[in-house]
Amino acid sequence: MKLKICGINDINILQYACDMGVDYVGFILANNSPRKISHDFLTSLENFNFKDASPVFVFVNPSVEEVKKVITQIKNPILQFHGDEGDAFCQQFNHPFWKTIRVKNSQSLKSINDFSSADAILLETFSDSSYGGTGKVFDWSLLNNISLEQGYVLAGGINSENIKKAVSMNPWCIDVNSGVESSLALKNKNLIAEIIKKFKNE
């Protein structure tokens, strides 16, 4: 099982997450997100040593140019599409991509079938007001009978209190964002360490 820390916008936190051996580090490029990275931060990633972590770039309804910019600047990025993008849009870049499905009810899960070319499906909590970052958990019992060829990433409101339950759902990867923040968009090393410890069941 893999672990992703998402919404990183600070180079010290990024270094810490990579040193601690997380599998994926996520960077948000959505305009309305308080965690959106700056142009300078993106540039600083060009020569960054991610060690064994893979960088994941989160887009919400981007232009083709926005995505191409990241592909050009960063070596081997994973693209995460978090908006209303269709499968054809996502796969045109010839890069590994994850597609987010925002889960409201069992009906929501049917749209997974529309993204057969995705390398992973990320399941996030549905919200009327935003595309993500809600900090809320959806009804995980909806996943009891789910079987995905490409594996799924469990996201939405995961923190040190519920990470053990998240692990028990047996997803391919767990995505933590607000659950390792001491305040909005401010990641905390102690909370990251605690999550990793519980994730590894140490």
pLDDT for residue 149? 79
- For the residues 163-191, what does the mean pLDDT come to? 96
Residues 90, 64: Cα–Cα separation, whole Å: 10
- Please give the model's pTM, rounded to 2 decimal places: 0.96
Percentage of the chain surpassing pLDDT 70? 97
pLDDT digits (tens, 9 = 90+) for 124-154: 998 776 666 667 899 999 998 787 877 899 9
- For the residues 88-106, what does the mean pLDDT come to? 96
Quick one: pLDDT band at residue 199, thresholds 50, 70, 90? very high
pLDDT for residue 82? 94
- Give DSSP secondary structure letters for the chain: -EEEE-----HHHHHHHHHTT-SEEEEE--TT-TTBPPHHHHHHTTT---TT-EEEEEESS--HHHHHHHHHHSSSPEEEE-SS--HHHHHTT-S-EEEEEEESSGGGGGGGGG-TT-SEEEEEE--SS-SS-------GGGGTT---TT-EEE-SS--TTTHHHHHHT--SEEEESGGGEEETTEE-HHHHHHHHHHHTT-
pLDDT for residue 178? 95
pLDDT digits (tens, 9 = 90+) for 19-67: 999 999 999 999 989 999 999 999 999 999 999 999 999 999 999 999 9
pLDDT digits (tens, 9 = 90+) for 63-96: 999 999 999 999 999 999 999 999 999 999 999 9
Beta strand pairing status for 54-59 and 2-5? Answer: unpaired
Fold that domain 2-199 belongs to in CATH? TIM Barrel (3.20.20)
pLDDT for residue 7? 97
pLDDT for residue 133? 60
